Amino acid sequence: MAVAADRSARTRAALLAAAQTVFAAKGYGDANVDDIVAAAGRARGTFYLHFENKAAIFAALLDDVSAEMADQARSIWQADRPFESVLASIRTYLDDFAAKRSLWRLFDEVTATDRELRPLRDRWVDTFAARVQRGIETAPDGTDDPLEPKVSAHLLAGMLDEASRQLYLEGWARDPDEVAVHLATVWARTVGYAADSESRPTGRAREPR
């Protein structure tokens, strides 16, 4: 049984990798299941054991990538150094986005053009924002905070994702490190982490260098 499960997992992974290549090469619209199974070296029937159709494998690609990114972000958190943790998470997000940029470009194109896939995009946005929300809710400093974590999370996640697009899909001429520090500062001040470990944000902004 373990062997069969293994083989199944490997087949699924092969199909996903093939799909990513085929989508990147042909675009989502022109790609089809036959292309994918050919690239994966598998039978057509095998595809349908794992995925219902082209849209389903595309959704699975997205889920896998976002799960990877979530895992990366989680392992960085250090409660006694919230600002540094946020900065590290943001840096990781930017790097992950850069590494998968062709997938994100594809994602944008497909969800913009194919109306049926739009719920997929909204679902992805909400999932990412929910993770950010949990991070905010378990944060040290923000208890007397009239801002709703759910709303702040959505806005901060949106800012981060949008900035990633600008850097890696739209040729924004900014140094990613400088962008990361500013993103982390906006984040930390919104949530109420001190920008440095001694003080809270005041009328005069202070930022450790």
From 44, 74, 134, 206, residue interacting with another protein (rule: CB under 8 A): 206
Distance CA 56, CA 193 (A): 40
Burial annotation 153-169 (CB, 10 A radius, 16+ → b, else e) = bbebbeebbebbbebbe
Work out whether 129 is an interface residue with another protein (CB under 8 A): yes
Question: Helices 101-113 and 54-74, interaxial angle, to 10°?
Answer: 130
Q: Which is nearer to another protein, 68 or 148 (CB)?
A: 148
Q: Taking the alpha carbons of 130, 135, 138, 144 in that order, is the dihedral positive or negative?
A: negative
Q: Are residues 59 and 111 in contact, defined by beta-carbon separation less than 8 angstroms?
A: no
The window from 7-15, 35-43, 75-83, 176-184 that contacts another protein (CB under 8 A) reads 176-184
From 30, 34, 122, 141, residue interacting with another protein (rule: CB under 8 A): 122
Q: Which residues pair with 199 in a beta bridge?
A: 196
The contact mask relative to another protein for 154-173 (x = CB under 8 A, - = no) is xxx-xx-xxx--x---x---
Work out whether 131 is an interface residue with another protein (CB under 8 A): no
From 112, 137, 138, 197, residue interacting with another protein (rule: CB under 8 A): 112
The window from 1-9, 67-75, 96-104, 140-148 that contacts another protein (CB under 8 A) reads 140-148
From 42, 50, 101, 121, residue interacting with another protein (rule: CB under 8 A): 121
Q: Which is nearer to another protein, 42 or 131 (CB)?
A: 131
Q: Minimum distance between the CB of residue 117 and another protein, rounded to whole angstroms?
A: 12
Q: Minimum distance between the CB of residue 62 and another protein, rounded to whole angstroms?
A: 15
Work out whether 9 is an interface residue with another protein (CB under 8 A): no
From 108, 127, 131, 134, residue interacting with another protein (rule: CB under 8 A): 108
Contact positions vs another protein (CB under 8 A): 108-109, 112-113, 115, 121-122, 125, 129, 146-148, 150-156, 158-159, 161-163, 166, 170, 174, 178-179, 182-183, 185-186, 189-190, 192, 201-207, 209
